Chain A
Amino acid sequence: MSPRIGVITFPGTLDDVDAARAVRYGGAQPVALWHADDDLHGVDAVVIPGGFSYGDYLRAGAIAAHQPVLRAVVDAAGRGMPVLGICNGFQILCEAGLLPGALMRNVGLHFVCRAQRLRVESTGTAWTSRYSPGAEIVVPLKSGEGRYVADAATLAQLADEGRVVFRYAGANPNGAVHDIAGIASPDGRVVGLMPHPEHAIDPLTGPSTDGLDVFRSAIDAVLPA
């Protein structure tokens, strides 16, 4: 039986349909999860997709981070369940305290929407094991608040522990510190990134199919050995 990967929808989520499609392309069964759910319906992994949950009220991700389904995600992550936050999902994971740091308004204030080159810096996570270390991939980036920030101690810890998962290759699109596009939890099971691997799974609709291995990696991570 193929693994079941939950995809959470909040009011204002936009990319849940594409995320579910990416899960399916990767070979798993997508399971729709709703913001008011207080359990995860027995899924093996969870994707928190992008969009503008709760209209970005207060701060991007701040309201979603306190909804019932996120409490269930935090509990599950504590038990090692793979969790991926994409764009607004990354902002939610930071607001919920599952990942350190914060995402802020882009330097230059412009919303950036483009096919973005990324370097895979860590293949030791549940979501990147299929990539070669240092691989360059191209996936869409579409965000106005994508500038990753963290204090110096946190940045040093992320670097020392190999928890910077993706960096922007070429010109930094948003002013993110150390070109950081994505990071992981200490156990490598929780990953957040601003760019959108779920939009890069089919040559018909994306700039590449480079994003597919994110979802295949997670399937590898949850299949019984």
Chain B
Amino acid sequence: MVLKPEILDPQGQAIARALPRLGFDGVHDVRQGKHFELDVADTIDDAELHRMAGELLANPVIEDWTVRRL
């Protein structure tokens, strides 16, 4: 889950400014995101996982997300 490209991410910018101070050069941009791990029943399909993301886990106004099964 990550902020949409057009949404300003001041936390990501602060991280991008901190990395060179630690000696990591060549980082052009940082976007901070979130990661959720859900332990779900086999009956839960991807469509339902996307509904969970859209209705609660993410705010579709500002965030994009991907769903991946492990």
Q: Which among A104, A105, A108 has the highest number of chain B CB atoms within 10 Å?
A: A104
Q: Binary interface profile of B, 3-41, with partner A (CB < 8 Å = 1, else 0)? A: 000111011001000000000000000000000000000
Interface on A for B, CB 8 Å cutoff?
Answer: 58-59, 62, 66, 94-95, 100-102, 104-109, 147, 149-151, 175
Residue B70 is within 8 A (CB to CB) of chain A in the complex:
no
B61 within 8 A of A: yes
Q: Quote the shortest CB–CB distance from A15 to chain B (angstroms).
A: 23
Instruction: Tell me which residues across on chain B come within 8 A of A175, comparing CB atoms.
Output: 8, 10
Q: For B59, what are the chain A residues with a Cβ–Cβ distance below 8 Å?
A: 59, 62, 95, 102
| Secondary structure type dominating chain B contacts | loop
The answer to whether A58 and B56 touch across the interface, beta carbons within 8 angstroms, is yes
- The answer on a CB contact under 8 Å between A106 and B10 is yes
CB pair A102–B62 under 8 Å, yes or no, is yes
Which of B6, B56, B57 has the most chain A CB atoms inside 10 A of its CB? B56
CB contact between B11 and one of A59, A100, A105 (< 8 Å): that residue: A105
Q: A110's closest neighbor in chain B, by CB?
A: B10
Supplied contacts A94-B61, A101-B61, A149-B62, 17 more A-B pairs, CB within 8 Å = A58-B56, A59-B59, A62-B59, A66-B56, A95-B59, A104-B7, A104-B62, A105-B10, A106-B10, A107-B10, A109-B10, A109-B14, A149-B8, A149-B61, A150-B61, A151-B6, A175-B10
- Number of B interface residues at 8 Å Cβ cutoff, please give it: 11
Q: Which residues of A contact B10 (CB under 8 A)?
A: 105-109, 175
**CB nearest to A95 among chain B residues:** B59
* In the complex, residue of chain B having the shortest beta-carbon distance to the beta carbon of A94: B61
CB under 8 Å from chain A, chain B span 38-68: 56-57, 59, 61-62
In the docked arrangement, what's the CA distance between A62 and B57, Å? 9
Residues in chain B near residue A62, CB distance under 8 A: 56, 59
How far, in Å, is B3 (CB) from chain A's closest CB? Answer: 8
Distance in Å from the Cβ of A147 to the closest Cβ of chain B?
Answer: 8
Distance (whole angstroms) from the CB of A173 to the closest CB of chain B: 14
In the complex with contacts A58-B56, A62-B56, A107-B8 CB distance below 8 A: yes
